[in-house]
Structure 1
Amino acid sequence: MDTVATSYHKINRKFLKSLGIWPYQSSLSKKFFILLTLFLTITHGYLQTAGMFAALVADIDIFLESVPTVLADVVCYLKYFNFFYNGSKMKELLITMEKDWKKYTSPEECQILDKWARFGRKVTIYYAGALYGTLVPMGLVPLVPVVLDVVAPINGSYPRHLMFQQIEFLFDYEKYFFPLLIHGYFGTMAYLTIIIAIDTIFMVYIQHACAKFEILGLFLDRVANDDDAIKNRHCSKFDEIDYNDMVNCIATHNHAIDFSNLIEEANYVSFLFIIGINMIMMTASALVAAFKIDNPDIAGKFVAFTLGEVFHLFYSSWQGQLLLEHSESIFNQVYQAKWNNASVRTQRLIIPLLMRSAQPCKLTAGKMLTMSLTSFTTVVKTSFSYLTVFTSMRA
Structure 2
Amino acid sequence: MCSASVSMYDRSYVKLDGQLRNIHYENDIHYTLQMCEWLLKLVGVWPLVNSHTRSKLQQVLSIVLMSTCFSSILFIVLPSFHYIFFVEKNTDMKVKLIGPFSFCFSSVIKYCYLGTKGHFFKRCIQHVRKDWKTVHDPNYRTIMLKYATVSRKLITVCASFLYSGVLLFHTVMQFLSKEKNAENNTFRPLAYPGYDSFLDTQSSPTYEIMFSVHCFTGMIMCSITMLAYSLAATFVTHICGQIQIQIARLHDLVESKLRKDLEPDLLSVIVHDHAEILRFSRNVEEALREVFFAQIIEATMNMCLLEYYCIMAWRNNDVVTVMTCATLLISFTFNVFIFCYVGEILSEQCRQIGEYSYKIRWYNLPAKNACDLILLISVSQYPPKLTAGKIIELSLDTFSSVTKTSLVYLNLLQTLTDW
Which TM-score applies when normalising by structure 2?
0.82
Residue pair 1:217, 1:333 contacting (<8 A) in 2 also: yes
| 1:126 counterpart = 2:157 | yes
Match status 1:107 vs 2:129: no
Contact 1:41 1:187 in 2 (8 A): yes
- Residue 83 of structure 1 corresponds to 114
Deviation, 1:328, is 1.7
Q: d(CA) in 2 for partners of 1:215 and 1:188?
A: 40
Q: CA deviation at 1:157?
A: 4.9
Instruction: Tell me which residue corresponds to 1:357.
Output: 380
What is the 5 A alignment of 1:175-186? 175=203, 176-186=206-216
Question: Quick one: distance in 2 between partners of 1:168 and 1:296?
Answer: 30
For 2:312 and 2:198, how far apart are their aligned partners in 1?
Answer: 25
The one-letter code sitting in structure 1 at the alignment partner of 2:139 is: E
Q: Provide the rounded CA distance (Å) in 2 between the counterparts of 1:4 and 1:15.
A: 18
1:312 corresponds to 2:344: no
Alpha carbons 1:264, 1:364 under 8 Å: kept: yes
In structure 1, what is the Cα distance between the partners aligned to 2:324 and 2:199? 25
Choose 198-207 or 91-100, whichever is displaced more.
Answer: 198-207
Shift of residue 369 of structure 1?
2.0
1:223 positional shift: 1.0
Partners of 1:12 and 1:200 within 8 A in 2: yes
Is the CA contact (8 Å cut-off) linking 2:232 and 2:288 kept in structure 1?
no
> Is it true that 1:67 corresponds to 2:67 in the alignment?
no
Answering whether residue 364 of structure 2 is matched by residue 341 of structure 1, we say yes
What letter is aligned with 1:369? I
User: Is 2:201 the counterpart of 1:173?
Assistant: yes
| Post-superposition offset of 1:217 | 0.8
* CA spacing shift, 1:136–1:265, aligned 2, 3 Å: closer
Deviations 1:249-274 (A, max 9, x none): 11111111111111111122332333
1:389 is displaced (CA, Å) by 3.2
Q: Equivalent residue of 1:224, what SS?
A: helix
Unpaired runs of 5+ residues, structure 2, are 1-25
The alignment status of 1:367 with 2:367, answered yes or no, reads no
**1:312-353: per-residue Cα shift (whole Å, max 9, x none)?**
211211111221221122121111122211111112211111
Structure-2 change in CA distance of 1:166 and 1:47 (3 Å):
closer
* 1:199 matched residue in structure 2: 229
| Counterpart-to-counterpart distance in 2, 1:143 and 1:310 | 26
1:255 aligns with 2:276: yes
The Cα of 1:363 is off from its aligned counterpart by 0.4
Contact 2:128 2:238 (8 Å CA) reproduced: yes
How far apart are 1:381 and its partner, in Å?
0.6
Q: Which of 295-304 and 134-143 deviates more? A: 295-304
Contact 1:20 1:31 in 2 (8 A): yes
Which residue in the other structure is 2:39 paired with? 15
Corresponding residue SS for 1:5: helix
Distance in 2, matches of 1:168 and 1:313, equals 36
Which segment is superposed worse, 359-368 or 3-12?
A: 3-12
> What is the aligned partner in structure 2 of residue 273 from structure 1?
294
Report how many aligned residue pairs link the two structures: 375
Question: Match for 1:137 among 168, 172, 191?
Answer: 168
Q: Distance in 1 between matches of 2:227 and 2:382?
A: 31
Task: Please identify, of 124-133 and 245-254, the stretch whose mean Cα deviation from structure 2 is larger.
Answer: 124-133
Write the distance in 2 (CA, Å) between the matches of 1:300 and 1:117.
32
Give 1:24-35 correspondences, 5 Å limit: 24=50, 25=53, 26-35=58-67
| TM-superposed deviation, 1:177 | 2.4
Contact 1:51 1:169 in 2 (8 A): no
Give the AA of the match of 1:174. Q
Provide the rounded CA distance (Å) in 2 between the counterparts of 1:286 and 1:157.
28
Quote the Cα distance in structure 1 between the aligned partners of 2:355 and 2:222: 41
Change (3 A) 1:170 1:306: farther
Contact 1:54 1:166 in 2 (8 A): no
Contact 1:223 1:338 in 2 (8 A): no
Measure, in 1, the Cα distance between the counterparts of 2:241 and 2:408: 38
Could you state the TM-score of these two structures normalised by the residue count of structure 1?
Answer: 0.86
Q: Is the 8 A contact 2:167 2:215 kept in 1?
A: no
Whole-Å separation in 1 of the counterparts to 2:296 and 2:413 = 20
CA distance in 1, matches of 2:64, 2:238: 31
Does residue 244 of structure 2 align to residue 214 of structure 1? yes
**CA pair 82-178 structure 1, distance change in 2 beyond 3 A:** same
Which of structure 1's runs of 4+ aligned residues deviate more than 6 A? none
Helix, strand or coil: the match of 1:360?
Answer: coil
Partner SS state of residue 29, structure 2: coil
Q: Secondary structure at the match of 2:315?
A: coil
Give 1:201's aligned amino acid: L
Deviation at 1:55, TM superposition (A): 4.8
**Unpaired segments of 5 or more residues in structure 1?**
150-155
Q: Partners of 1:100 and 1:116 in 2: how far apart?
A: 13
Conserved in 1, the CA contact under 8 Å of 2:257 and 2:364?
A: no
Structure 2: distance between partners of 1:121 and 1:300: 26
Spell out, residue by residue over 1:38-63, the C-alpha distance to the aligned partner (whole angstroms, 9 max, x if none): 12212122233233235532x32221
Cα displacement (A) at 1:15? 1.4
Distance 1:198 1:272, change over 3 A: closer
**Separation in structure 2 between the aligned mates of residue 310 and residue 167 of structure 1, nearest angstrom:** 32
Deviation by residue 1:229-251 (Cα, 9 ceiling, x = unmatched): 4xxx5xxx63xx1x422111111
Instruction: Tell me, in whole angstroms, the C-alpha distance in 1 between the residues paired with 2:380 and 2:68.
Output: 45
Query: Match of 1:47?
Result: 79
Q: Which amino acid aligns with 2:384?
A: C
**SS of residue in 1 equivalent to 2:298:** helix
One-letter amino acid of the counterpart of residue 218, structure 1 = A
Shift, 1:144, TM fit:
5.1
Does structure 1 conserve the Cα–Cα contact (< 8 Å) formed by 2:158 and 2:331? no
Cross-structure match for 1:285: 306
